Amino acid sequence: MLFPVIIVAASAALLLMIVHDARRFGRVPHLMTPDHPPHSPLISILIPARNEERNIGRCVRAALAQSYPQIEVIVVDDGSTDRTGAILAGSADPRLRVLSGRPLPPGWVGKCNACQQLSDAASGTWLLFLDADTVAEPDLAAALLTSAIARRLDLLTIFPFLELGTFWERVILPPFAALIMALFPIEAMERPTVRPDQVLANGQCIFVRREAYVQAGGHTAVRGEVLEDVRLAQVIRAAGYRVGIAEGMAYLRVRMYTSGREVVAGLMKNAAAGYRSGGGRSLWAMSRLVLTAFGPLWMIVVGLAGLMLGETGVAWAALTGGGLALLASLSLRSILYRRLYRQPIAYGLLWPGGLLCYMMIAGVGMWRVRSGRGVTWKGRTYTG
């Protein structure tokens, strides 16, 4: 009689975890409707670019098309070996400056070096770091400034709309995004009780007050970090400044990767670095995702085994609990696919498989770093 009770309790725990995850996302604030203040401070839009011939043109055009009146756009061509430099050379706008990337100093990660060079050249009161694979809507800068001022934030980062094209992007990237949600208390980042190591920023879009950035040491303070965005937010929070996050899918979109090969290479680099910095928290976050993805299936298997063995109490408890948990999990994933990624809800059925693929990628990435082989991204090898 005890075993069915344990199964019912486990089913209830799984359902609560799934509902809790759904409610957490609903509590993430949205960017506010943009409003231009009477005295508009200068915003420097800063774009590091390395081998971005596919993206840099549309990224720069969107940055220059901002409705906010006081902007400058600075791009660093960070040692590109493709047509990035030629495309930038063909862009003519007095608000745009293109810099040649300086040599990579010892102990620096490439993106940190480029971002520090950008900030050194910037004149703005606010710095807006954008990845070269993003496309901003015209009101992005104004919405960021409005939200940061209203919420009294020194750093504001957003979740953009994630464009998913190929099959592997659609299957693997949503579980990766869910891991980030599980790893950090995103809906509570602005609370004073949240420790600095519990905040994060998304490097695709970081809007930071120049004073806070400089006082915290800028990208020099995180010069050797592969996850420089997360660590930058943490050092700024540790310096006593306010860090916040918002859902900004209406204002920014990003296409991170365009093939399965790129998905593997990019996530391998991020996963290895994330595990090294996250440690036990990363393990716990992944365990939660595994439980909600595979727990209901395991319980259904237990129920079927109970039927075969004649244990009807165990069987019906497991089948009912596992079935309800599976229905809740698949419903949530399907809704997320439709609302967040504008993808067919059928992809929600592939969630467990996508999570398993990500775990394999992360495992290989961690093994390569620990074995000294490192992982390669855009012509640079990262060993830790």
Please report which confidence band the pLDDT of residue 15 belongs to, taking 50, 70 and 90 as the band edges.
confident
Cα(185)–Cα(281) distance, rounded to whole angstroms?
A: 11
pLDDT of residue 274: 62
Assess contact for 155 and 126: CB atoms under 8 A.
Answer: no
pLDDT of residue 384: 59
State mean pLDDT over 206-216: 98
- Domains of the chain as residue ranges with CATH: 2-24+280-382 (no CATH), 31-160+202-256 (3.90.550.10)
pLDDT of residue 273: 67
Per-residue pLDDT for 54 more than 70? yes
Please report which confidence band the pLDDT of residue 101 belongs to, taking 50, 70 and 90 as the band edges.
very high
pLDDT of residue 2: 58
- 253 φ/ψ angles, rounded to the nearest 5 degrees: -130, 155
Identify residue 62 by its one-letter amino acid code.
Answer: A
Largest separation between any pair of C-alpha atoms in the chain: 79
User: Considering only 3-17, 62-76, 331-345, which range has the smallest mean pLDDT?
Assistant: 3-17
Per-residue pLDDT for 373 more than 80? no
pLDDT of residue 181: 85
One-character DSSP codes across 109-176:
-HHHHHHHHHHHH---SEEEEE-TTEEE-TTHHHHHHHHHHHTT-SEEEEE-EE---SHHHHHHHHHH
Cα(353)–Cα(341) distance, rounded to whole angstroms?
A: 18
Per-residue pLDDT for 5 more than 80? no
- The DSSP 8-state label assigned to residue 30 in this structure reads B
Which of these, 340, 121, 148, lies nearest to 219 by C-alpha position?
121
> Pairing between strand 155-159 and 243-247?
parallel
State mean pLDDT over 324-347: 83
Sequence-separated (6 or more) residues with CB below 8 Å from residue 82: 51, 52, 53
> Pairing between strand 71-77 and 96-100?
parallel
Assess contact for 128 and 45: CB atoms under 8 A.
Answer: yes
Please report which confidence band the pLDDT of residue 276 belongs to, taking 50, 70 and 90 as the band edges.
low
Q: Which residue has the higher pLDDT, 63 or 337?
A: 63
Cα(128)–Cα(144) distance, rounded to whole angstroms?
A: 9
Q: Dump pLDDT digits (tens) for 224-270.
A: 988 899 999 999 999 999 999 999 999 999 999 989 899 998 888 77
Q: Dump pLDDT digits (tens) for 111-155.
A: 999 999 999 999 999 999 999 999 999 999 999 999 999 999 999
